[in-house]
Amino acid sequence: MTVITPKLTLERRLLGECELIISLDEVGRGALAGPVAVGAAMMDAAGARRRVPEGLRDSKLVTERRRPEVAARAAAWVQASAVGWASAAEVDQIGIMRALGLAASRAVQAIADQGIAVGEALIILDGNHDYVSNVHPEPLRVRPVIKADRDCASVSAASVIAKVARDGHMAELHGTHPAYQWNRNKGYASLEHRDAIRTFGLSPFHRSSWAIADVPTLF
């Protein structure tokens, strides 16, 4: 399989039209347990002239062993970064797409809390649907880009930063709920996870509104 190295082609072009870009990518959308997380990476024109960190890829293309070091390089490379969260309870209460928007809005707000004028930024959102604008309390300029996590280096940075943060969170939850093996499956529908659900039932961190017994195994 050919691995595509993300570039800054789109970011450099867009930064000719605006002063800042904030790139967003989500992790945990398809998990049975745990929060959804959205990573945010902010870049300006000066930052877009810097070399892409070694090994930076969409988080799905980076091995688990290497992700922490790649995420650390990504966070040091961009001008600001953050992770926004929406809990499993919020997924149950408002649905997965609105929860993604809530997590994304919180990620953008976390960038704003670092002193960044996010209202002046252009948001690059991985995918084909803008799930942020209807949730964030202030107007945002959002541009969904299909396969941005694969092709755009700033979105790859957001992806791996969010993935490492969420994996770490699931490893912490494993300490209080070890039967589900979240340190291994990160809340996704592995065979061991589903077997544990059949044996022990749902924890407070499961998305109880989902038809979990019917979800296909992903690992």
- Assess if residue 213 is contained within a domain: no
For residue 118, what is the domain's CATH number? 3.30.420.10
- Assess if residue 91 is contained within a domain: yes
User: For the chain, what is the domain count?
Assistant: 1
Q: What is the 3-state secondary structure (H, E, C) of the chain?
A: CCCCCCECHHHHHHCCCCCEEEEEEEECCCCCECCEEEEEEEEECCHHHCCCCCCCCCHHHCCCCCHHHHHHHHHHHCCEEEEEEECHHHHHHHCHHHHHHHHHHHHHHHHHCCCCCHHHEEEEEECCCCCCCCCCCCCCEEEEECCHHHHEHHHHHHHHHHHHHHHHHHHHHHCCCHHHCHHHHCCCCCHHHHHHHHHHCCCCCECCCCCHHHCCCCC
pLDDT digit string (tens) for the chain, length 219 residues: 566 789 999 999 999 989 999 999 999 999 999 999 999 999 999 999 999 998 898 788 888 899 999 999 999 999 999 999 999 999 999 999 999 999 999 999 999 999 999 999 999 999 999 999 999 999 999 999 999 999 999 999 999 999 999 999 999 999 999 999 999 999 999 999 999 999 999 999 999 987 665 555 544
Q: For the whole model, what pTM was predicted? A: 0.93
Q: Which domain holds residue 121?
A: 9-171
- Assess if residue 126 is contained within a domain: yes
